[in-house]
Amino acid sequence: MRGSIDRVFAVGLRTPTALFALLLAVSTHARAEAWLDAGDSALRSDIQYLVDSGAIDIVLTAWPIPSADVAWAIQNIKHESDLSTGQLAALSRVKSHLAVFSSDAFRVSGHASAAANPIVLRTFEDTPREEGEIGGTISDAGTRFAGRLAVQWVHDPADDLSWRLDGTYGSVRWGNWLLTAGALDRWWGPGWDGSLILSNNARPVPAIALDRESSKAFESPWLSWIGPWRLTTFMGMMEQHREDRDHPLLFGMRITFRPFGNIHFGSVHPLRGFEFALERTAQWCAEGLPCDWEAFWNVFAGHDNEGETVNPADEPGNQLAGWSLRWASPWQSLPIAWYRQKTGETIDLHSPLPRRTLDLYGLETWGSTKKGLTWRVHGEFADTACSPREGQTEPEWDCAYNNHLFFVEGYRYRGRPLADSLDGDAQSYTLGLQLDTRESWTGSLLLRYAQLNRGGTVPDSRNTVAPEPTNLRDVEVTLAFPMSTGKLKVGLGFDQRTVKRTDQSDNTVRGYAEYVHQF
């Protein structure tokens, strides 16, 4: 029998429209939308540029991020006249983006997109998931409440759901905390092309979330060394009908901080650009699994390893946990950052370290021209095969994003992995370029070579990108053009897939166009 926890969340998560209507009725036009959504690489690059160059100091590796956090940081820039041309250009674009929200708290917009062979290996950039989509949003905000109703209709949906409420939310502010109910994309980690634990690859899971709004540091001298920090946690409900276990809950928690920024040697602050996070998610409370407060405690405390920390009959669910970090050079003449994410399917019993781990590494650099054009280049490597067991040299195949309790879909939602779009047992090498002009024209280029589903079961029906070992070569180009009443974005891509067993190649050309209109 399903427990009381499930019933509580089911009521809250199945009424987003009613929640939005309530917030709309009580809000006043005094604040902006609560959230900056995941999916805008240009906006992320601009904010990251301001953080890396020392203009502002906020945590930035967990999206969506509260818009108020960015606004407060910008308002506290003391000497804008001392900023460089690149900083001023990035600052101007971020201010313009925030002004769209705050100039009139009540906003109405519409959007439409068409795509040929939609992109399967998604990055941080939001791109169409289906061949055709049309929709609209209504949002309003007050001093305490903010909400958005987003409705879409899609053509020939992969999950057979033509009508969607993705992007809908209602938030209430309580002190420096935001309580939110809705369906928002989440991206956890410093990567630009993938996240090993939670990304915007799958459609957003409807959830109730609690987030720290401003990431400003503690004022106490005993705790100020922690630096800017944010805690985010949520409980979501996955599909009602699955082939393994119906309607599981999805729990997530992440704490991010930028410590020791006040340590300096002369004028150099070597740790100012260091950002670290601990992150975990868990599927639990599904059909046939325990769903009470004791089960949640076992999930929260990590007591979910069958036969090790819990009796097999009481195993509550499937958990991923890990950490991520990013360090940016403190020397402005050497604009470079290194990042890493490590995620495990289980946790070591004797230390708080993930095991059966997946890895992601990245290196990025950035700069600007005298005319205000900013650029960012990154290289990224991801390995989504679980690390070898003790005494073995070969990876543990068919491990990542799979679980014996959730034995069909596993760590996937409506046909896509909740984490990296590569799915399990893959390796990927990417090189990306992001360009942003003073006039807010943006462009990006991505080159990728990937080995998909490198080992394990053949054919693997659970792998969503390749049922057997396949090599992929891919190139993506995206351009976005601001218009007087909205924004137009177009993309073009080409990939070549070669099945290793037969050495047979298949070439695919992709493209999409998307227009957003502000009324």
pLDDT tens for residues 381-409? 999 999 998 788 899 999 999 999 999 99
Instruction: Name residue, tokens 């046909």.
Output: 415
pLDDT at 380 over 90: yes
- CA dist list (Å): 161 to 126, 154, 156, 499: 19, 8, 9, 31
| Cβ atoms within 10 Å of 494's Cβ, excluding its own | 14
- CA dist list (Å): 33 to 36, 212, 280, 312: 8, 15, 27, 45
pLDDT tens for residues 264-300? 666 667 778 899 999 999 999 999 999 999 889 888 8
Helices then strands (H, E): number in the chain? 6, 25
The pTM for the full model equals: 0.92
pLDDT tens for residues 447-495? 999 999 999 999 999 999 999 999 999 999 999 999 888 999 999 999 9
- CA dist list (Å): 175 to 34, 41, 141, 213: 14, 30, 16, 9
**Domain limits, the chain:** 4-518
**Residues 94, 440: Cα–Cα separation, whole Å:** 10
Summary mean pLDDT of the chain = 89
Instruction: Average the pLDDT over 295-321 and give the result.
Output: 78
pLDDT tens for residues 438-449? 888 999 999 999
Q: Are 213 and 228 in contact (CB under 8 A)?
A: no
Looking at the DSSP assignment, which residues form a beta bridge with residue 110?
Answer: 136, 517
Fold designation for 4-518:
Porin (2.40.160)
> How long, in residues, is the chain?
519
Residue type, 444: S
Residue closest to 73 by CA, chosen among 105, 110, 36: 36
pLDDT at 346: 79
**Residues 242, 247: Cα–Cα separation, whole Å:** 7
Residue closest to 74 by CA, chosen among 42, 106, 43, 30: 43
Contacts with 428 (C-beta within 8 Å, 6 or more apart), sequence order: 121, 193, 194, 380, 381, 382, 422, 448, 449, 450, 451
Q: Are 166 and 150 in contact (CB under 8 A)?
A: yes
